Amino acid sequence: MRIATWNVNSVKARLPHLRGYLREEAPDIVLLQETKVVDEAFPALEIEELGYNVAVHGQKTYNGVAILAKRPIEDVVRGLDGDAADGQARYMEGTVGTVRVASIYLPNGNPVGTDKFAYKLSWMARLRDRVKELLEEEETCVLGGDYNACPADIDVYDPPAFADDALCRPETRNLFRSLVFLGLTDAVRAFHPEPGVYSYWDYQRGAWPKDHGLRIDHLLLTPPAADRLRAADVDRRPRGREKASDHTPVWCEIEE
C-alpha cells in the first residue's frame, strides 16, 4: 500500500489539485497538513466521491490535519498528550487496515528565542513521548507530516543561511534525532541518501525555479512498518503547477 503525506496549505484553495492527485496517483492513504478549516467546513463530499474515507482535526484559519484513506479509518485520536492547554490542531492518528498512521504538523518555531520556539521544542518532546508508547505497543506505524525540521545540512539548499533558523537549529535537530533514534526509519532518507531531496520550496524569491528547497516533510516508520518498506520518494510534480502548495507530496510503499 502507498502512503503519502502532503502539506496542502489550505485544503479549500488546493481542492482541485488535491482531487487531481487522488485521481491520478490514487494512494491508499494520504496524510494532510495545514488544512486551515474547521471540521464542519472540510470538503469531505468532494473527496469521498473519489472513493476515500475522511477523518479530520481542524481549526479556524491555522493548522489543521486530516487522514484520507480508501479503506475505513478506525480508532481516530485527535491531539497530542502532555499539554491540556494546547488548542492547536496539529496531530491525529487513525488505523487503516493493519497500519496505524499519524498526520503531523509540527510547529514552525520561528523566530528562534521566542515562545514559538519553546512551544516547538516542547511539542517535539511530547511527540517523542507518544512515539515511545507506539514503539512499546510494537505497532506497525507510519508517522507522516510536515516536521518543520531539516535533519541535516544535505536537506538544505543553503546551510549557512539557515543555520539560525528554527528548522535547522541544533535544538531542533537534536530532538528530531532523538525521535528517530528511538528506532524509527526515515523512509525517504533510506532510499535517497543524496543531498537535494527537497519537499518544500518557499513562495518567495523564485525558490522553486531555482530549486532552493528544504526537506522538512517526512515519513517515519516503526520497525514493523520498516520491515515492510519497499520504496519511498518525493513527488515533485505537484509543486510545479499553477496555484501550487509550497510543499509537495512525499510517499512510501509498504508491502501488504
Partner DNA sequence: ATGGTAGGAAGCCTA
60 scored as a contact of DNA (CB under 7 A)? yes
107 scored as a contact of DNA (CB under 7 A)? yes
d(CA 232, CA 255): 12
Name residues whose C-beta falls within 8 Å of residue 155's C-beta, 6 or more positions apart in sequence. 195, 197, 198, 214, 215, 216
75 scored as a contact of DNA (CB under 7 A)? no
Q: How many residues of this chain bind DNA (CB under 7 A)?
A: 19
d(CA 78, CA 104): 11
- Whichever of 8 and 96 has its CB closer to DNA, that residue is 8
- Whichever of 1 and 168 has its CB closer to DNA, that residue is 168
Neighbours of 64 (CB within 10 A): 28
CB of 170 to DNA, least distance (A): 20
In 38-194, beta strands by DSSP E:
53-57, 65-69, 74-78, 91-96, 99-105, 141-146, 185-186
61 scored as a contact of DNA (CB under 7 A)? yes
Interface stretch with DNA, choices 19-27, 50-58, 187-195, 203-211 (CB under 7 A) = 203-211
CB of 208 to DNA, least distance (A): 10
Asked if 89 and 107 count as a contact pair (C-beta separation under 8 A), the reply is no
Q: For residue 13, how many C-alpha atoms fall within 13 Å in the half-sphere facing its CB?
A: 14
d(CA 164, CA 209): 24
Interface stretch with DNA, choices 9-17, 65-73, 184-192, 223-231 (CB under 7 A) = 9-17
77 scored as a contact of DNA (CB under 7 A)? no
CB of 90 to DNA, least distance (A): 9
Q: Quote the Cα angle for 149-57-190, to 5°.
A: 35
Q: Which of 20, 108, 192, 195 binds DNA (CB under 7 A)?
A: 108
213 scored as a contact of DNA (CB under 7 A)? no
Q: Which of 84, 85, 204, 209 binds DNA (CB under 7 A)?
A: 204
159: left (phi over 0), alpha (psi -120 to 50) or beta: alpha
* Interacting residues toward DNA by CB under 7 A: 9-10, 12-14, 36-37, 60-62, 107-108, 110, 116, 148, 203-205, 243
